[in-house]
Structure 1
Amino acid sequence: MKQLTNPDILPLRTIDNIAQSPVLVVAPHPDDETLGCGGAIALLRSLNCHVRVMVMSDGTLSHPRSRKYPADQLKALRESETIEALSLLGIESKNIDFLGLPDGSISTYDSHKTNAIIACCRQLTEIVPQTIFLPWRYDPHPDHRGSWNLINTALSCLSLEPRIIEYPIWDWDPEQCKSIPDSVQIDCWRLDINQVVELKTLAIQAYRSQTTDLIDDDPEGFRLSPQMLANFALPWEVYIEVKG
């Protein structure tokens, strides 16, 4: 997305522009909510906005060959990291929902897709969010696009019209970033998170399985690079709203 090549020129807004409670934050994997929206979450909670977080996948493909952390233990580890990170940002564990969909297969997991949509409908009906933070619909990662599609499908089944705010993750990687259709009109802006950026950084560090060598027995295991992490340690976050 070309806006990310020079984000400093994007308009800068304050949390007052989006402080409509309740709020739902949707994360394709455990850590996306903190990377993309950690500052917004902390600021919303500082205003006593009710924030719920829905984590779509179990995150078990980050280190698929680890013997120290087989899938069930890795799933538990990543959930515990999410709970720790979000507690720093002001979210209690009771306000975190783990859907547990297979990592890497959100967009193709047909056998339980209906159940996933039903689960999303149930959560949306319970929360009745005024605002939903979703992964960017054109994110290079298929799980991110799949998460957007699941929530969008669920919303189409309900009479809810929340404000949809989308956040980029892998578009920050110039090698993966893709162009968007010319017909898509977007409003791209930055949220000022300067007062909570240090708190967000601490929350990101809670994801030790993704940022350190905690899991050291899978040579192909995933780890966020310093270059990628630098994009999420800025005093602002980038958000996208699609017009029309």
Structure 2
Amino acid sequence: MLETSPFSFVKLPLRPAEFAPQLGPTVVIAPHPDDESLGCGGLLALLCQARVPVMAILVTDGTMSHPNSQKYPPAARRHLREAEFEAALVALGILKAPHYLGLPDGNVPTAGAAGFEEAAEQLRIYISQFSPTTIVAPWRRDPHPDHRATSQLVRAALAQLAAPPRLLEYVVWAWERAAPPDLPQPGEVEGWCLDITSVLDQKQQAIAAHRSQLTNLIDDDPTGFQLSPAMLAHFAQPFEVYLEVKSESNSALL
């Protein structure tokens, strides 16, 4: 996050861990395997600790992290990353089997694009089956195209529900890459931090489950992605950031 920005994640008010169970049954929506652990792993662990039901939905197949690997062709990469996703969920205490949209990594459809309406409808079905009171999804302007497209899918799906659940948005790439227009604007959201000190170790275990994103497990693609130490440091902090839109006027599919 740019230090010169008038908006600062670290200056948001801190809510205690005891706030988490008030969110009730929760669905977490992750664009890629690891976003659930990085962006909101602490919250998910706190919910599970309080025996609040949690269900996870993975949007993409995760295969573009190492697109040139021969040892792990696309089907194997997808299997590996889904296995890591499931291991991370277990580390956080989520035992319910996740749902998979299986959209192409790096090419999640945006509003108006081919496949968008169908994906939003499938997402609506998954959400309706669980009947959550809260949805946790990526910040709508998080600086990654799949994150932004996922946010559009989520909001399109929720718009079709008679009684949409509460929507909380977490940040991942905004810590590192956000330009001023990507950050919340004055009056747009209510932002707050959640104290996750008591479950920080559990969150780190969940992040560590994503070995393909942290190590040379896939070692035959020099262009392959790995999370940098600087990026990981943001998610070793004893708090997580959540943003909640304050008015419907700000809920357009931006």
Q: TM-score category by the smaller chain?
A: over 0.9
Q: Distance in 2 between matches of 1:119 and 1:38?
A: 24
Alignment partner of 1:21 is 2:21: no
Q: Distance in 2 between matches of 1:182 and 1:4?
A: 9
The alpha-carbon distance between structure 1 residues 199 and 182, as it changes in their structure 2 partners (threshold 3 A), is closer
Map of 2:223 onto structure 1: 220
Residues 1-244 of structure 1 aligned to structure 2 (within 5 Å): 6-19=8-21, 20-94=23-97, 96-108=98-110, 110-173=113-176, 175-179=177-181, 180=183, 182=185, 185-244=188-247
Q: Distance in 1 between matches of 2:232 and 2:7?
A: 16
What is the identity, as a one-letter code, of the residue corresponding to 2:246?
Answer: K
3-state SS of the aligned residue for 1:83?
Answer: helix
Q: Distance in 1 between matches of 2:179 and 2:217?
A: 29
The alpha-carbon distance between structure 1 residues 89 and 117, as it changes in their structure 2 partners (threshold 3 A), is same
Aligned residues: percent identity?
A: 45
**Structure 1 gaps, min length 5:** none
Aligned residues: 242
After TM superposition, the score normalised by the length of structure 2 is: 0.89
Q: Distance in 2 between matches of 1:63 and 1:218?
A: 6
Residue 34 of structure 1: how far off its partner (Å): 0.6
- Structure 1 vs Structure 2 CA RMSD: 2.0
Q: Distance in 2 between matches of 1:5 and 1:115?
A: 36
What is the identity, as a one-letter code, of the residue corresponding to 2:88?
Answer: A
Equivalent pair of 2:55/2:96 in contact (CA under 8 Å):
no
Q: Distance in 2 between matches of 1:222 and 1:21?
A: 35
3-state SS of the aligned residue for 1:191?
Answer: strand
The alpha-carbon distance between structure 1 residues 184 and 68, as it changes in their structure 2 partners (threshold 3 A), is farther
**Structure 2 gaps, min length 5:** 248-254
Residue 14 of structure 1: how far off its partner (Å): 1.9
